[in-house]
Structure 1
């Protein structure tokens, strides 16, 4: 009597692949050579035929390669050939972002669709403003449809950051017009005008098309002050008479309108105040200086957490590594549980938004850490990145020019530090920069043009009122006018020509704003915290949101 013996097929297959890979590494029983340049790889005909249609067709016929037991690849990356062979044997391979294009070329030659799919997933998950154009080029070259779709979504959601790339001038006019005409666009009319000017400026020949682009912009929602600023400072306008007349015409119309609270500062650009005296989230309008109800969905899951906002969502990052988000544009929306963080970042994870992704760096409170990870919201996935060289807690983060700047913080010995460094996610490179003049932690930080402003914070258990400015171009620090009072646990926001600061309610009793042009501080809301028990604040447009709730 015959018996059918069943085993764990998946376990058996994994074991077989491991054994085959080991045999290849030891060059046992090899009967076929794959050569790329000066590098030679010993393999097995049966394994290559089973893993690749390219090798199957080659080795099941009387080809030269079959007879000689050797195939030579010319004008290909040898490392990528090895990666593809490793994949055939083990189902795994390692690749750097810089080699992806070369790997896809080899994978296409060997007809390895699974490799193409795996690389497509990597490309789709790691799109940044800096890599957008190269990713789009690779997707078009190799027909990676899923990546192309992801690029389309990323382009519309991150167009302002993408517009800073030199390749932006090569974007087709129909794509620019689609952004400008889109009613669902996340950018305001002022930003659409800036976008159009950038696109025209990258290629002067496109001046002939400027009317078609600019005529779809709603100039009645752009302030006269901003249009006047463009006429006085923007070279492409002042150097072209037709362009100048076009903008000046709308300036004259704007000047006749009664002054409004600038419509580009609408609900999604308000400063959000987390008021613990009430069961809702409140907002502060930096133009009218009024405080009003913003949303009913107050976050009450845990007492300690940090947060960040982008687009329509507020993300909350908790000390137990859980992550929640709220679509604040929907009136009755509720908090939604997302995938947990991978590493422990303490009670108030320090986070920053860059190129469509959330980055969490270091620790918080008294938990020092060197951990770095990023969250891709579209895939609901966290990815670990290269650790920071030193363990820090309570550092301040700001994004600028496709990099993240890490400022100050607390070292392992519990004292504030003056360290200042830059992390570039696309290259995983950490660079130490000129330290600040004084050690400080939990400062407010904001980037304006090519300047990074570091405001207040804590030093040796007392609040400081300092304002330091780092010029990215000259790599120099400058001390500016101090605040009227010391602030710690500061959040800083750039609105128009002002920088506004909001502090934890227990450390300061006032909301202040800084006049960038005149280097002057003004108290906006004295005794603010006698009415509202504010722990932290946010400005959704700029993606800066910190919330820290004391016991």
Structure 2
């Protein structure tokens, strides 16, 4: 300072804890109290200044023209004494112990008293606590407190885990209005409609005298066109309480639920995993997952994909096409999941870290990197695009990209193919988006990636007429309007995840934590996340068998249970 004075360094880290400690000492010693809060007969002595600084509710109470601004004792209605005490303690200490036993009362009190920081902790606690046993209660609570995202998240979780949820105590105690919403939802994961009917009957029998009057409305939510009629007859004959069941069934919905119309599974191939010491090593397995993330089968990759990464995969006509990769940059294989057979197809131009998409029924390979003739040479970024002809088993070059790129998101939508972002040099990423029109055989630039996806590894998935981009969050791209809309945040923002579409859901698997990788550490994840396009909600699915990143995931038809399939290789 010019006058020779001393200026304490900005952001002195010792000051906030010291200040809080002095406030707590004043409180514990009983000094300078000027107001008493009352709840359920309990009195809590406080300082107006501390409460006013703590929350807008108390600031308005003490700094405005309300009568409470001059009162010595103030009754706080609608909150429990325990919750109020915890919130006051938090105001003085910045610490609060949230448990399953107190979460409801603390969340309700924080919501009413507008203590946003505590509300945030409560929402985070509940999001981490979603299980089949708790999701319905969380849904009801979040709906009551107008927390729309947590409500959608809990509801989406409950819909996906229906066949576990319907046996819980919370299901039996679910309010009838919520039950109607639940069992009538198109996204309810009930493979057989009989399960929905059984759940409704189970709920009704829990208090039949009181709940029988709701049966008519509840049964109208069952898709009876998809219920076996002999099963319905057996129910009536076995349980006389439901003798009038047929009379109650007046609405024959012919619309099947999404999981009944979509019968698929997820195939996860290769990538990198972590050894015992968290060092990187290749994953040489394929994992077959159901729509909940349960691992149904683990199969070794064939020898030509072992110790490799950087290959691409896509689904076409119920099979999987795998191309390129560091191991063999020209290889092309077609995999039939039902037969567990691999068939060699015509080789393409050398490339890895490239993209694949199916457009108008044809397979395209796009971009990537290669080392040309000399294996020791620098990487060369590819701008070339090739299309595969199944009839002639050959590849043909089409118009090249406007900008050579690798490690990008790629998807087909509205009769065009889109390439989102990616790397244009070893440590340089781009926000450029490129669009291919097969009718004109040309690439053009589209609107660049939004700020939230800059410098991120992006995965792209198409649902109906829109493309959903997965980075640290979900962003929806509308090709017709060339516009982006930011949607839900990922529960864990992992880099180099993989994503695939399962009906109206996007299944996101694996990845690594970017910050840990920058510090030369490998922190991979076993987490799977599931984003529901209809509800704009993100939930956790079952964990992967191993942590993975840089892998491929594709959706395949649901396989019938069968004896272990022998691996078949065919080279044409």
Smaller-chain TM-score bracket: 0.3 to 0.5
Question: Greater share of helix residues, 1 or 2?
Answer: 1
TM-score of the superposed pair, with normalisation by structure 2: 0.44
TM-score of the superposed pair, with normalisation by structure 1: 0.46
Which of structures 1 and 2 has the bigger CA Rg? Answer: 2
